[in-house]
Structure 1
Amino acid sequence: MAAFSFSPFDPSTFMLMGIPGMEAAHIWISIPFSMFYIISLLGNFTLLSVVGKEQTLHKLMYLLLCMLAFTDIATPSFVVPKALGIFWFNLKDNTMAGCLTQMFFLHMASVMHSATLVTMAFDRYVAICIPLRYATILTNAQIAKVGLVCLIRAVLFFLPLPLLLSRQPFCANRIIPHTQCEYTALFKMACGDITVTKIYSLGLMFVVLGFDLTLIALSYSQFIRAVLRISSKKSHQKTLNTCTTHICVMLTYYTPSVFSKLTYRFGQSIAPHVPIFLADLYLLIPPMLNPIIYGIRTKLLHDKVGKYTCRS
């Protein structure tokens, strides 16, 4: 048990403070946290269950939705249980191995989520721009290979970060003002030279976000060009409606993600609890909204979910 107790002389233990300045409200903050998490789990497990049971949904679009649902289950699951432990039971201690493990899996799931959105954008591009080749380009086997490549990319990109941090000596004050083991907070506590680690993490953020957003922008630019060639307004509307759902999901993910990273890195004049709220909402809101958005906007999925819900 001594290994898990916080001590300023224990180099393997950190203390997560939750939301600094809001300690008195931790119990109240835990209510929306737990509600968002429960709704997220219910929505995504329902989506996975319905797609798994319904043969008519065994199509590429819905398989991609299942990939998105898996990442939406994993991402908050690496953060919320520990955060609720802090809010409810004051369980603030975390080992260095636990911190680095949480950081690795959290960011790996986040990169997988982003890669899935890129794949969905490419799916819409092929469906609209080259529909006659859709069945040959985007087969289930091809998507399985793409998913494997995305997983390998996430592991290879983020594995060096915890490995680099694990070799760093940390100062006596190992208090993390956050609900999770955020790597920028670990940078501030490192006593050694972390220039290489900082450059790698910053470059990684720009490479992953920049690469994925560029691919999505290219897919949608080609898609918009194809739509503009259509003369019928009715066809315009119908074609655009097929992609508004994906656009909504992208906005709910990338917008808070970018704001969260920018405020945490450059918002020194902002109250300390604001970046933490943004970081937590970025991990909670998209997984909760995604199954709701797709359930409402996708008629076939909406009908099948309604059928299974009524049957239950």
Structure 2
Amino acid sequence: MTSTTPSAPAETSTRLDGTRVIHKAVGSRDDRWFDRLNVVFVLLVVVMIGYPLWFVIIASVSDPQAVQAGRVWLWPVEATLDGYRRVFGHSAIWIGYRNSIVYTLVGVAVHLALVLPCSYALSRAHMIGRTAVTWYILFTMLFSGGIIPTYLLVRNLGLLDTMWAVILPGAAGAWSILVARAFFTQTVPEELAEAAKVDGASDLQTFLRIALPLSLPIIVTLGLFHGVGLWNEYFKALIYLSDRDKFPLQLVLRELLIVSQDPSAGGGGAGTGGDAGSIVEQVRLASLIKYAVMIVASLPLLLIYPFLQRFFTQGVLIGSVKG
């Protein structure tokens, strides 16, 4: 005898005119339990990912002693905004915000201007030597010149202490070129390009008028990936920039966090009793500033991502399905 999984019984309903309608049950009991387990699993994942972010938010506005004592779980305890007042009261924060916005916008524009034409050209079958160029680009993903040769190159090009020292190194990423090449191969097939050529369009016109309008998902995806990297960049600024007016936000926040955690930076030594209160207060502010800095650095990306999510989802699925 063979056993079958019992299915849910059909349900009936009565319309206003007295007609009975039979609704066919969808899925078996096992399917419904599987769906419930999926919902529970997804909720657990959401809690595991979302709670750390929520904890940082509430810890940034809670009393540091309550945070260290473990009394902060779901809601702020003894709410205070001293950490944010200290962070935004630092004049260099606003300069860092301005610089990071400029570096990110200009860097993303340069990145797309280099990556999109290159990847479109490599996606065309009639391009001579495209296989060799693709392998050459792939080779750069495996080996790099290193920090010292890169620094010497930036110095010899006269880019030191300019925003181009942060933007130009790594502006055209090999990974971005290969992903965009796969996108153009699937989205703009050779038949579509040939049809445009029959209508009198050149390769440049086909790229500008046909390929780019169809490429919004990959443009947003590449721009978001590269923009996040530029927004979080501090190492290049640390080694290439010396003018404090050109420091990006991450470098300013790094210095602010280091200074806030050094009790001797508050002015005066720790040897006199009159300075003990100020040292204790600075240690208290250090904990608040630590969490406030995390929120200040991440807030712009958290605000922008929901508006780009649908394009980002389409972009990351490139190459996963072939039609």
Q: TM-score, normalised by structure 1?
A: 0.28
Q: TM-score, normalised by structure 2?
A: 0.28
User: Which of the two has higher C-alpha Rg?
Assistant: 2
Greater relative contact order, per chain length (Cα 8 Å cut-off, separation 6+): 1
